[in-house]
């Protein structure tokens, strides 16, 4: 064979081999709102070995498939800071309890010397010094309508967590096995067409509120679109696990991920993380499917509540476990359909905010007109009540996205076994399949059934709500099926307070 021809053939084979490798790096395809997201596509993968390389690959203008084969440690890479901070009232109370758990101090908003602009602190409090990691700290300003009294102190933080890694458009970031770990640094997704898969984000100043958000989406500019976060694990963060900022984001799916609230530092003083999800946006659409959300005490998730919000969330096949506070907190501007979710030991499955819109099906047929298929019912064991409110408005808004929501099969609610095939990092499988490919087969290990749950009126909201269900499907969509049964509620410990819009306080 001619040498030049041989070299050309070899180059052709190697090029196609590299394309095949790139195509095989991502497991599955995005369901729900993020369907069609391709990330970096089939470009040749890159393998960062340093913090600097990863930051460059994520933020440059090139399409990238970035494979993380190691733990990158950001702690101490940017120094640390000690400054005046705040000891919120709830942390003062936690210290007084001396119950074996620790609370969280708070980093003050820039310029807030009087402690009047930071949730959790005001002029009646006292200051402290704080130490934190700047790389994890994510300065987000939001509105507030209530502030707790804090005291000043000194806080110290690691600087690396203060500023998250910026993620530009057309990026895929995927970890190899359990090796892909970001230790001390979060992500800020500002671009569109982004895939984050099989990555563990951890250790973002967990002792401090405002110590760092794990994954932030959007900002003050144009809203990003087409973002798939899949098989991610998040643990030991100071603030939110997931944030969608005021700009909003469309075409977002968060799937098969492990949101681990186990912590030494808890705003609720019980080893359960309070700050889970904060989903804002003037136009935001999110599929929240197949996730394990556990050991939390609040905001699991909080949706809407900022001025001008229009946030649509489809929450399906999630496993909510061991929550000492509340799961859903659905406020003004939020429209949520929750189906096929499994709640185990969740004190308050949802707060009752009449300004929000929440639809919980009580019959599988309730959704058919709105989204083109039957819904799956939720299951609750050893939990409070899951309660619809403003159901007609919720289902009406959700019906605008029937293609995205009805286009994949939701399975029966079930308790997930601990395995990467179900959620989190490791050897991956896709658990949510296209409706055309998966009609009836459950993708998870069932430990109990909806029939068993419905036999227990005190643990299954569907049983007690059934008497309020419309007698036919058309009526269920057209009639306001708001449920008057109140959920078992606990007073929300808003340790850093909600935010006063006029003052634009941090939330």
Alpha helices in 137-294 (DSSP H): none
- Whole-angstrom distance, CA of residue 458 vs CA of residue 456: 5
Contact call for residues 244 and 219 (beta carbons, < 8 A): no
* Burial class (CB within 10 angstroms; exposed 0-12, middle 13-18, buried 19+) of 484: exposed
Residue 132 CB neighbour total at 10 angstroms: 30
Cis peptide before 88 (omega within 30 of 0): no
Ramachandran bin of 17, using left for φ above 0, alpha for ψ from -120 to 50, beta for the remaining angles: alpha
* 299 part of the active site: yes
Token pair 């804002």 in the structure block, residue = 280
3-class SS string, 312-353: EEEEECCEEEEEEEEEEEECCCEEEEEECCEEEEEEEEECCC
- Whole-angstrom distance, CA of residue 189 vs CA of residue 250: 12
- In the structure encoding, which two tokens stand for residue 341, read together? 């979710």
Catalytic residue among 87, 239, 299, 494: 299
Contact call for residues 70 and 179 (beta carbons, < 8 A): yes
Residue 356 CB neighbour total at 10 angstroms: 26
- In the structure encoding, which two tokens stand for residue 349, read together? 């499955």
Contact call for residues 130 and 83 (beta carbons, < 8 A): yes
**Alpha carbon separation from 302 to 14, 405, 458 (Å, rounded):** 48, 20, 25
* Burial class (CB within 10 angstroms; exposed 0-12, middle 13-18, buried 19+) of 394: buried
Which of the residues are catalytic?
A: 299
């Amino acid at each position: 064979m001619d040498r030049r021809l041989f070299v050309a053939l070899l180059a052709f084979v190697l090029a196609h081999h590299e394309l095949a490798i790139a195509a095989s790096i991502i497991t599955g395809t995005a369901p729900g709102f993020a369907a069609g997201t391709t990330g970096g596509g089939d470009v040749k993968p890159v393998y960062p070995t340093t913090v600097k390389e990863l930051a460059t690959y994520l933020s440059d203008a090139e399409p990238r498939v970035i494979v993380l084969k190691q733990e990158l440690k950001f702690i101490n890479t940017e120094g640390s800071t000690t400054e005046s901070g705040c000891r919120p009232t709830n942390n003062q109370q936690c210290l007084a309890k001396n119950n074996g758990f620790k609370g969280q101090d708070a980093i003050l908003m820039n310029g807030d010397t009087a402690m009047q602009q930071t949730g959790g602190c005001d002029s009646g409090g006292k200051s402290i010094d704080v130490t934190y990691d700047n790389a994890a700290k994510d300065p987000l300003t939001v509105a507030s309508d209530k502030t707790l009294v804090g005291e000043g102190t000194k806080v110290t933080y690691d600087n690396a967590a203060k500023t998250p890694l910026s993620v530009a458009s057309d990026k895929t970031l995927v970890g190899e096995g359990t090796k892909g770990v970001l230790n001390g640094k979060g992500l800020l997704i500002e671009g569109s067409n982004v895939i984050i898969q099989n990555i563990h984000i951890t250790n973002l100043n967990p002792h401090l509120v405002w110590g760092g958000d794990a994954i932030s989406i959007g900002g003050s500019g144009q809203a990003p679109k087409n973002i798939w976060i899949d098989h991610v694990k998040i643990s030991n963060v100071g603030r939110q696990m997931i944030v969608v900022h005021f700009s909003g984001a469309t075409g977002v799916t968060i799937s098969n991920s492990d949101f681990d609230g186990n912590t030494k530092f808890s705003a609720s003083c019980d080893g359960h993380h309070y700050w889970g999800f904060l989903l804002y946006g003037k136009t935001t659409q999110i599929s929240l499917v197949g996730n394990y959300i556990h050991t939390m005490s609040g905001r699991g998730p909080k949706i809407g509540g900022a001025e001008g919000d229009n946030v649509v969330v489809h929450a399906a096949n999630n496993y909510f476990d061991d929550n000492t506070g509340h799961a859903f907190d659905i406020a003004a501007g939020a429209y949520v359909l929750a189906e096929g979710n499994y709640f185990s030991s969740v004190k308050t499955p949802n707060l009752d905010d009449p300004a929000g819109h929440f639809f919980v099906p009580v019959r599988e047929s309730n959704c058919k007109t709105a989204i083109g298929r039957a819904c799956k019912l939720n299951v609750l064991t050893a939990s409070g009540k899951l309660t619809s409110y403003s159901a007609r408005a919720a289902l009406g808004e959700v019906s605008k996205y029937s293609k995205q929501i009805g286009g994949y099969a939701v399975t029966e609610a079930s308790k997930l076994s601990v395995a990467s095939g179900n959620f989190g990092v490791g050897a991956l499988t896709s658990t949510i399949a296209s409706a055309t490919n998966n009609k009836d087969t459950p993708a998870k290990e069932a430990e109990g059934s909806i029939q068993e749950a419905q036999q227990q009126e005190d643990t299954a909201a569907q049983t007690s709500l059934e008497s309020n269900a419309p007698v036919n499907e058309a009526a269920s969509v057209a009639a306001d099926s708001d449920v008057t049964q109140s959920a078992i509620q606990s007073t929300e410990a808003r340790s850093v307070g909600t935010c006063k819009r006029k003052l634009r306080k941090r939330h």
